[in-house]
Chains A and B, each alone.
Chain A
Amino acid sequence: MKFAKLLNVFVGSVILLTSCSKDTIEPDYNEGNLSDLSLEFDNIVGGQKLILNNVNYRSAAGETYNIQLLQYFISNIKLKKADGTEYIVPQDSSYFLIKADDVETRFAKVKVPAGDYTSVTFVLGVDSLRSTMDISRRTGVLDPAGGMEAGMYWGWNSGYIFFKMEGISTAAPVDPTGQHKYRYHIGGFGGYSAPTINNIKTITKDLTERGIAQVRAGRRSNIHFMVDISKVLSGANTISLATHPQVMFSDFSVNVANNFTDMFTHDHTEN
C-alpha cells in the first residue's frame, strides 16, 4: 500500500517533469513554416518602473525630471541561430511604434520559422529606405498623417521622428507655453538629396546568457528587453535639460542618439 502510494507520486512527478520540459528538440529549419515570436520592450528608469507624469526621476546631471510622453520606433527585426542561419522578418511586417501610454504596444510581434535563436537584431528608428519609399508603402504606424504634437513625422523635413520623449523638469527654462518643459524629438536618417545626420541605431543582442528564443509551432516565444530610459540623459553622454531643454533636428541630437544603444538589456526569454 505504502509502495503503491510512493509509485503514484513518482509517476506523477515524471509526468509533471515531462510536461514542463517543453519541446527542446530543435525542429528542422523551414522558412515557410512560421511561428509566433515577440520582442517585449519594458520601459524602466534606472532601477524603477517607468510611471508617466506622476513620478520624478533624477539624472546624472543632478536634474529632476518626469516623463509625460515616450514613444519610439522599432523596426527591421532579424533573428540568428547558433549555426549562423539568419531570418529577416519581411520589411512590410517589421515596423512597430512602442508607446509608453499604451501597454499593448510594448510587443513587437512577428512570425519567424521555428528554431532556436541565439541573437536578435533590430533598428531603433525607421531606415532610410522606408523613409524615402512611396507613401502607399507607409501605412499603419508609418502613416505620416499624425499632427505636429502627437505625430512621429516631420512634414517640413521629410522623415520620421523615431524617438520622442517629453516631460517637465524644474531644471528646464520656462518655455513659451509657460511650462518647464523639455522636448526631445530625435530623427535623422542620413538625408536623401544631401547627406545629413543619421541617428538610426542598429542594436544586436546576444540571447545565450539570459535565454535563447525557442520558437515552436503553437506557442509564442517572447524576448523580454528592459529599456532603461534614464540612459537618454545619463548614458555615455551626460545631457543637461537646463542647457538642452529642446532637442530636435540639430547637431546636438547626435549626442542624445548615441545614448540609445545602451538603453536595451536582454532580461529573459519566455518560451
Chain B
Amino acid sequence: MGKKQYTIILAFITIVIACNKDVTEEFFAGFIKPAHFPDPVYRFADNPVTKEGFELGRKLFYEPRLSRNNTITCGSCHIQSSAFTQHGHDVSHGIDDRLGRRNSLPIMNLAWIPNYMWDGGIFDLDLQPIAPITAHEEMDETVANIISKLQVHPEYPKLFKNAFGSETITTAAFMKALSQFMLMCISSNSKYDSVKTGRTSFTVEEAQGYTIVQQKCAGCHAEPLFTDNSFRNNGIGIGANDDMGRYEVTLNENDKYRFRVPSLRNLAYTAPYMHDGRFYTLDAVIDHYSFTVQETQNLDPLLKQNNEPGIPLTSDEKKKIKAFLNTLNDKVFVTDKLTAEQ
C-alpha cells in the first residue's frame, strides 16, 4: 500500500467518526425566527435561549417529578407525535386518571403568543407551568415541592448551575428552563412554509383551497401562524359544563363563551378539536362552520354575515379547504429529535 492509499483510508475514518457524533450536540443554533414569521412577542432579553438552558428545560418537560406522585410529565398531555397535544382525549387526562375540563393545547410557536390557555388567563410563558403543575386534575403538585425534589437529585443541581450559574434551584430558573424548551417547539416546516419561502409550490387544488381559506377563514386564522391570537365565540354552543371561557379571567360580559382562536397548523395530529375536544374529525369542524353555528351570547360577527349564522361552503370548497389544510401539517415538527424525549 502506498502513502496515498493510507491518506485516503485515514480521511475516510475521520469522516466516519465525524458523522457518528450526535448532531444535536454539534448544531444547537438557539432560537431562530423563521424568515416568513413576524417578530416574536416573548421577551428573549429576560431569558436568552442557551444550549444548557434548553436541554435542562427539555429534561424537565419530560420529568415525572413535576407531578405529585412522579407519574405525569408535561409530555404526558403534550405528546410530540401529536404536535404536543394529547391526541384522542377530548379533555386532558392527568394524575390518578383525573380529567380536566379543557382540551390540551399544542406547545407550538409559543414565542408568538401573547397569552396562554384557552382563556388567555396567563400572560407570561414563564408563569404558565404553574397552572398545570398545581391543577388538582393535572399534576397536583407545587413548584416549591418540585424544587425540593430536584435539589436533592444527583443531576439537576449541576444542570441548573450550567444553565443559570447556581446549583440553588430557584422558581425563576426552573420556569425559564421550561420556557427555553417550549420556545424551541417551532413549527415552520410544513409544505405551506416551503411554498412561502419559495422552495416548492401548491397543487392546483391546494392553491384553490388556500384562496378560500384566505377569503373565509383568515379573519380569525391569520397567516403565517394561522391564528390572530384573539378570543371568539365560534358558535359551537354552550358546553355541558357551561365553560364561559375568557369571561372567567376578565369578568367581562362581552367575553362570555369566547375561547382562544387556535392555529390551523398540524391539524392532522391534534384531533379532537375545540376547547372541550368535542369534534373528533376535521370534517365535523368544517361542517359545523357551514351548518350548525349557533347564536349564543357573543357569537363572533364574522360568523353571522348577511344575518345568517355560519359560513356558506359547497362540498367542493370543503374538499379544497382540506387539501390546503393538509399543507399545514409539519412532519419535521412532530419528529424532530431536538424536542423529543431523550
Contacts and interface: CB of A to CB of B under 8 A. Distances in A.
Interface of A: 132, 134-136, 138-139, 143-148, 151, 153, 155-158, 191-197, 249-251
B175 to A, nearest CB: 5
Contacts of B250: 191, 194-196
B88 interface: no
A148 B144 CA distance: 11
A250 B251 contact: yes
A155 B130 contact: yes
Interface in B80-129: 114-115, 117, 119-124, 126-127
Interface in B249-267: 249-252, 255
B314 to A, nearest CB: 37
A51 B130 CA distance: 33
Most buried by B among A143, A148, A155, A251: A155
B123 A192 contact: yes
Given A135-B172, A156-B121, 15 more contacts: A132-B123, A134-B46, A139-B171, A139-B172, A144-B127, A145-B130, A146-B142, A147-B141, A148-B134, A157-B121, A158-B121, A193-B115, A194-B120, A249-B248, A251-B251
Contact of B127 (A146, A147, A158, A195): A158
B51 interface: no
B123 A144 contact: no
A240 B80 CA distance: 50
B145 interface: yes
Interface of B: 43, 46, 114-115, 117, 119-124, 126-127, 130-131, 133-136, 141-145, 147, 170-172, 175-176, 246, 248-252, 255
15 contacts: A138-B172, A145-B171, A146-B142, A146-B144, A148-B134, A151-B134, A151-B142, A155-B135, A156-B131, A158-B127, A193-B114, A193-B120, A194-B249, A249-B251, A251-B251
A135 B144 contact: no
A175 to B, nearest CB: 15
B134 A135 contact: no
Contacts of A192: 115, 123
Given A132-B123, A158-B121, A158-B123, A147 B249 contact: no
Nearest to A251: B251
Contacts of B142: 145-148, 151
Q: What are the 9 closest A-B residue pairs judged by CB atoms, nearest first?
A: A147-B142, A155-B130, A145-B143, A157-B121, A136-B172, A155-B131, A145-B144, A192-B123, A145-B171
Classify the secondary structure of A's interface with B: loop
A146 B249 CA distance: 21
Contacts of B145: 147
A201 B163 CA distance: 40
Contacts of B246: 194
Contacts of B176: 135-136
Nearest to B136: A148
Contacts of B251: 196-197, 249-251
B136 A134 contact: no
Contact of A143 (B117, B171, B249): B171
Contact of B130 (A134, A153, A193, A250): A153
Contacts of A146: 142-144
A134 B136 CA distance: 26
A196 B251 CA distance: 6
Contact of B135 (A156, A197, A249): A156
Contacts of A158: 121-124, 127
Given A144-B171, A148-B134, A134 B117 contact: no
A156 B255 CA distance: 17
A134 B137 CA distance: 27
B198 to A, nearest CB: 35
Contacts of A196: 249-252
A147 B145 CA distance: 9
Contacts of A249: 248-249, 251
Contacts of A156: 117, 121-122, 131, 135, 249
A46 to B, nearest CB: 32
A146 to B, nearest CB: 6
A135 B143 contact: no
Given A146-B142, A146-B144, A153-B130, A194 B171 contact: no
A144 to B, nearest CB: 6
B216 to A, nearest CB: 27
B126 A134 contact: yes
Nearest to A193: B115
A194 B255 contact: yes
A250 B251 CA distance: 7
A218 B158 CA distance: 43
A193 B119 CA distance: 11
Nearest to B115: A193
B121 A135 contact: no
B123 A136 contact: no
A161 B136 CA distance: 18
B171 A134 contact: no
B121 A147 contact: no
